[in-house]
Amino acid sequence: MRPMATVSVMTGIAGSGRAPSARGSLLLMMVLAWVAGSVPLVGAVLDWFVTYFHEISHALVSVATGGRVERLALLPNGSGFVLSSGGARVATLLAGYAGAFLWGALLYRLGRVGHVAGIGVALGLLAFMVLTGVAWVVPGDLGTYAILAIMMAVLAGGLWQGDRGWARTLVMFLGVYVLVRGLDLALDLHGVMGMRRLPEAARHNDAVFLAQATGVAPRVWTFAWVAFGGLVIYRLWRWAAVADARVGGSGRGPGGGPGIGPAPEEGTGTGTGRRRARLRVVD
């Protein structure tokens, strides 16, 4: 009997050598990300990834500009915060949403490279979460540790079937979700739209903190983030169009393999001796 080809939403037609277009897979994953964000339990877990990349961006820029991260916290309601001292305050505050958009685009593009790249990225994220958990999470913060453990379990689940492309698909989907949800949250800072609104978003958010630091209205920062997020998505779409043009009718994906388808307020902390360091919270 002649074997029958089977169709998979994410991997195209098995055994045919054909793969969905890069633009098709990107569009499909954006739709799936929007739908997944509306599913209570699934959306809650995925939102932790968005918050993690948001807060890690704050932390990395703080360290890069000479600051020190005192605490990283992830909360059950999907929010989080970073407590830092020193560094460039405005750059650190700007980095949350902007960094999340860049993380999302990077994850998607790396996932498109191939199965091995997807496995490598998933392993890298696992190691990075362990490192940041040890370095920046307060030892007694069991809630943050539990959330990190759940996120790591999701990544481990993708690695469990990594040879079947699950790790690659998961990395790509997480990247798209971080982009879509990050844009949604930026818009939601002023109640424009949203899959699920976080509590007290209008009173404690980066736009308000930036307004306090610069005197520029929060809405200006919100529009800047939305514009940047839209630009990142547009550039990702253009990259997908170029990828489709390169493969043409060859049916080969990037890299020569089959393509894959589609809180808080400021406070003060006490240093050693009589020195007192100014601490700040960015959420």
Token representation of residue 113: 């490279």
- Report the distance separating Cα 223 and Cα 213, nearest Å: 17
| Least confident interval from 6-20, 84-98, 123-137 | 6-20
User: Mean per-residue pLDDT for 105-130?
Assistant: 92
Which residues are CB-contacts of 26 (< 8 A; sequence separation ≥ 6)?
108, 176, 236, 237, 240, 262
* pLDDT number for residue 162: 58
User: Mean per-residue pLDDT for 81-97?
Assistant: 94
* pLDDT number for residue 269: 38
Domain locations along the chain:
21-245+263-282
| Least confident interval from 15-29, 89-103, 125-139, 228-242 | 15-29
Token representation of residue 40: 């209570």
Confidence grade of residue 93 (pLDDT, cut at 50, 70, 90): very high
Question: Which sign, positive or negative, has the C-alpha torsion 226, 58, 239, 38?
Answer: negative
Which residues are CB-contacts of 33 (< 8 A; sequence separation ≥ 6)?
46, 173, 176, 177, 179, 180, 181
User: Mean per-residue pLDDT for 4-29?
Assistant: 56
Confidence grade of residue 280 (pLDDT, cut at 50, 70, 90): low
Q: What percent of the chain has pLDDT over 70?
A: 74
User: Mean per-residue pLDDT for 21-39?
Assistant: 91
**Is 97's pLDDT higher than 80?**
yes
* pLDDT number for residue 99: 95
- Report the distance separating Cα 158 and Cα 253, nearest Å: 20
Q: What percent of the chain has pLDDT over 90?
A: 56
Token pair 């690695």 is at which residue?
159
Query: In three state form, how does the secondary structure of 9-36 look?
Result: CCCEECCCCCCCCHHHHHHHHHHHHHHH
